[in-house]
Amino acid sequence: MVLVFLVLYSFLGSLRTVIVPAVTVPVCIIAAFTVMSLLGVTLNLLTLLALVLAIGLVVDDAIVVLENIYRRVEAGEPRLLAAYHGARQVGFAVIATTLVLIGVFVPIAFLEGNVGRLFSELGITLATTVAFSSLVALTLTPMMCSKLLRRTGPKGWVNAHVDDGFEKLRRGYQNALTYCFHNKTIILLLFAAITASIVGLVNAIPKELAPREDRGSFFLVARGPEGAGFNYMREQMDEVERRAMYLVNETKEARIVIVRADGDNSGFAVIVLNPWSERKRSADEIIAELRGRLASMTGVSVFINMRQGISAGGGRDPVNFVVGGNTYEELAKIRTILEEEAAKLPLIGVDTDYRETQPQIRVAIDRDRAADLGVSVSTIGRTLETMLGGRRVTTFVERGEEYDVIVRADDSNRREPSDLTNIYVRSDRSGDLIPLSNVITLREQAASATLNRYNRVRALTLTAQLADGYSLGEALTDLENVVRESLPDVSSIDYKGESRELKEAGNAVVFTFAMAFLVVFLILAAQFESFIHPFVIMLTVPLAAAGGLLGLYLAGSTLNIYSQIGLVMLIGLAAKNGILIVEFANQLRDEGLEIRDAVIEASLIRLRPIIMTSLSTVMGAVPLIMATGPGSASRLTIGVVIFAGVSISTVLTVFMVPVFYDMLAKYTRSPGYEAARLKKQQEERAQTGTIGVQGTPAE
């Protein structure tokens, strides 16, 4: 907020003037709280993020109105009259920009899935604050201007230099604009190149669901061999605890280490770290070191992970790659190749859920010999079931309680595979007891403990964690390429957990971006009563998108859900500058100026409010970029997108919009043209006393 007000003071040079937009912020925020309460929106990290972004946005409308009134007061117009005419002159532009921003934020509120449930509150908060900012700009701001503004006397050293600098900028801008009008081909080629660069930037930027954050804790999963019992896992987890306790006793970076041995072959541990201010290393650095200390354990496989704020669950690892096959034997072959290829990628802890590690005994019945001895296959199966698994044969009552009677072989007689051959079955023909060793043969083999399906298809899931600098989007793309190149017989590819959420969120945001673009275009078409003017204005969107993507690329950030939301916001933020130029150029055309003269004059007059509003938005994003501590990575990405997108689009918009307007405006007229034409005809008919259709004088 301080940065925004410094921008205003630098351009206006008066504390009295800065008070006017300063009032806008608390009024809009308080009003937004009221609506949020009515809609059941909570105050959380995302709504707080929306309020931070809103500080740079809500003052924009007030700046446009204030600057126009300020300019008229400086020109000698009385304050009250300047407030009245100044607000009316830019009223259309203020309403248009507000509707555009709301049109952008509303689709965000309707995102589906887990991401939609999170970001719907962000969209509602931003749309509410922007709506109230327009109301304040057209009511409270003119009133305060009529009371507080006054013509400035001799300027101070700082203000004088700022004014001189801006005047030089204005003259330089006019010369550059004239050059652009005489070299339109260069502008068109530049626009085409910038638009084409979007594809290259999207492909070059890594993709993930959300930036990896330091959550202050992480968990550990250990898996022992199949059949390992509680005692075995307790010993292994005790060793895990011993190796992890240095974080508490030596480095003092953790507060708690909790371990648990489950009843089967798995164990679990949670390590709670000290707050950021009490440790020098990040959670990722600590995890990397601990992973190295646990790597030498041979009794269990250990996986360490840190859950992120936005996750669909479904697994401990971000990579959840599902491959379908026709048979489990085929999946076993696929697994071998997939694990070999995945080991070549920057992945950590590659594993699959189809592991032939559970010992099994395959019983093969000699049907011919069994038939000769009078032993049926069903008798053999029923006998094995009873002796090994147990069978409920009856019940008895003791002291009013009924108990089951279960027949089963003693534990000592069913420990070894050879014990099966000592079981006897009765011949249906002779009634003699026949040892099973006469009719069966045993073969030991390994099989998977579970036979998984996904969407009714036999499938296995490859899970893994990501090495530093390797994004989830890159991992999934590389695995897809492995399947296409090395496993052409795979019947299907699917995703679970965070991987699935990434795919769904990416598609949802693309749809939201397209819908926001269409909604904004239709809003502008309705307001300008033309498709040409909205087309000129919307040409600013590729410029902003390219700028935002370039910022992500240079910052080494990723294309994630936060940066994608920032790109959607850029649709409205970029269109604002175009609206200011196009709308005022239309007014000047109505006053009789030629198209080029009108757009040049509009661009020169609107240059200062464009720079002021853009700098306010950019300064509002600076705290997000400079933030540290928990959650800073997420705020950084959206801050970079807004900072770079608005900065670059502003520089390009003030040149390209006038050029495109000069090229296309001749095919349409301003929204007020038909209204002025109708009013003129009515006045002419009234002066001549022309009789109306029903024989009455025209009004």
End-to-end Cα distance, the chain: 54
pLDDT higher than threshold 70 for residue 186? yes
Query: Which distant-in-sequence residues (6+ apart) come within 8 Å of 49 by Cβ?
Result: 122, 624, 634, 635, 638
Q: Give residue 699's pLDDT.
A: 44
Helices of type H across 449-560: 472-486, 497-528, 532-538, 540-555
CA distance 597 to 173: 15
Assign 479 a pLDDT band (cuts: 50, 70, 90): very high
Query: Which distant-in-sequence residues (6+ apart) come within 8 Å of 625 by Cβ?
Result: 635, 636, 639, 640, 643
646 neighbors 577 (Cβ within 8 angstroms): no
- More confidently predicted of 252 and 488: 252
Within a 13 Å sphere around the CA of 677, how many CA atoms are in the beta-carbon half? Answer: 6
- More confidently predicted of 485 and 687: 485
| Least confident window among 161-165, 228-232, 391-395, 438-442 | 161-165
- 3-class DSSP state for residue 507? helix
Helices of type H across 298-424: 328-342, 367-373, 377-384
Q: Give residue 698's pLDDT.
A: 45
- 3-class DSSP state for residue 221? strand
pLDDT higher than threshold 80 for residue 414? no
The tokens describing 93, both together, are 């532009």
Percent of the chain with pLDDT strictly greater than 70? 93
Helices of type H across 110-229: 113-138, 140-148, 157-182, 184-204
Helices of type H across 183-229: 184-204
- More confidently predicted of 647 and 490: 647
Question: Tokens 């509680």, residue?
Answer: 230
pLDDT higher than threshold 70 for residue 263? no
Q: Single out the residue of 109, 62, 228, 14 nearest to residue 512, CA to CA.
A: 109
Question: Tokens 């099989």, residue?
Answer: 447
111-128 mean pLDDT: 78
Residue 592 zone, left/alpha/beta (φ > 0; ψ -120 to 50; rest): left
44-52 mean pLDDT: 84
Assign 314 a pLDDT band (cuts: 50, 70, 90): very low
Question: Tokens 């190749």, residue?
Answer: 337
Q: Single out the residue of 695, 539, 678, 556 nearest to residue 625, CA to CA.
A: 556
pLDDT higher than threshold 80 for residue 115? no
Q: Give residue 157's pLDDT.
A: 64
Assign 696 a pLDDT band (cuts: 50, 70, 90): very low
The tokens describing 376, both together, are 């049926």
Percent of the chain with pLDDT strictly greater than 90? 24
645 neighbors 574 (Cβ within 8 angstroms): yes
68-88 mean pLDDT: 88
470 neighbors 347 (Cβ within 8 angstroms): yes
Q: Give residue 548's pLDDT.
A: 94
DSSP for 223-234?
E--TT--HHHHH
Assign 547 a pLDDT band (cuts: 50, 70, 90): very high
CA distance 233 to 189: 67
- 3-class DSSP state for residue 608? helix
CA distance 109 to 512: 10
DSSP label at residue 209: S
Assign 544 a pLDDT band (cuts: 50, 70, 90): very high
**CA distances (Å), 267 to each of 77, 131, 299, 462, 497, in order?**
79, 53, 12, 20, 21
DSSP label at residue 488: T
CA distance 359 to 417: 11
Please state the separation of Cα 236 from the chain's center in Å.
39
pLDDT higher than threshold 80 for residue 614? yes
Assign 41 a pLDDT band (cuts: 50, 70, 90): confident
The tokens describing 206, both together, are 């890594």
Q: For 521-542, how does the pLDDT look when each residue is reduced to its tens digit (9 = 90+)?
A: 999 998 888 899 999 999 999 9
DSSP for 415-448?
SSGGGGGG-EEE-TTT--EEEGGGTEEEEEEEE-
DSSP label at residue 288: H
Q: For 205-247, how does the pLDDT look when each residue is reduced to its tens digit (9 = 90+)?
A: 988 888 888 888 898 988 888 767 788 889 999 999 999 999 9
395 neighbors 489 (Cβ within 8 angstroms): no
CA distance 684 to 500: 68
Q: Give residue 180's pLDDT.
A: 93
> H/E element holding 89?
helix 79-109
Domains and CATH numbers, the chain: 2-210+502-679 (1.20.1640.10), 214-307 (3.30.70.1430), 358-447 (3.30.2090.10)
Rounded-to-10 torsion of CA 624, 282, 299, 352:
20
550-561 mean pLDDT: 90
Q: Which residues pair with 321 in a beta bridge?
A: 462, 495
Q: Give residue 63's pLDDT.
A: 87
pLDDT higher than threshold 70 for residue 199? yes
pLDDT higher than threshold 80 for residue 404? yes
pLDDT higher than threshold 80 for residue 2? no
Q: Give residue 689's pLDDT.
A: 62
Q: For 133-150, how does the pLDDT look when each residue is reduced to its tens digit (9 = 90+)?
A: 999 999 999 999 888 887
Tell the burial category of 689 from Cβ atoms under 10 Å away from its Cβ (0-12, 13-18, 19+).
Answer: exposed
Within a 13 Å sphere around the CA of 603, how many CA atoms are in the beta-carbon half? Answer: 30
CA distance 278 to 252: 8
Q: Give residue 178's pLDDT.
A: 92
The average confidence (pLDDT) of the chain is: 85
The tokens describing 92, both together, are 């259309």
Q: Give residue 690's pLDDT.
A: 56
295 neighbors 250 (Cβ within 8 angstroms): no
What is the model's pTM?
0.78
Cβ neighbours of 186 (radius 10 Å): 12
Q: Give residue 155's pLDDT.
A: 60
Looking at residue 447, its amino acid is A
Q: Single out the residue of 697, 693, 673, 672 nearest to residue 685, CA to CA.
A: 697
188-209 mean pLDDT: 92
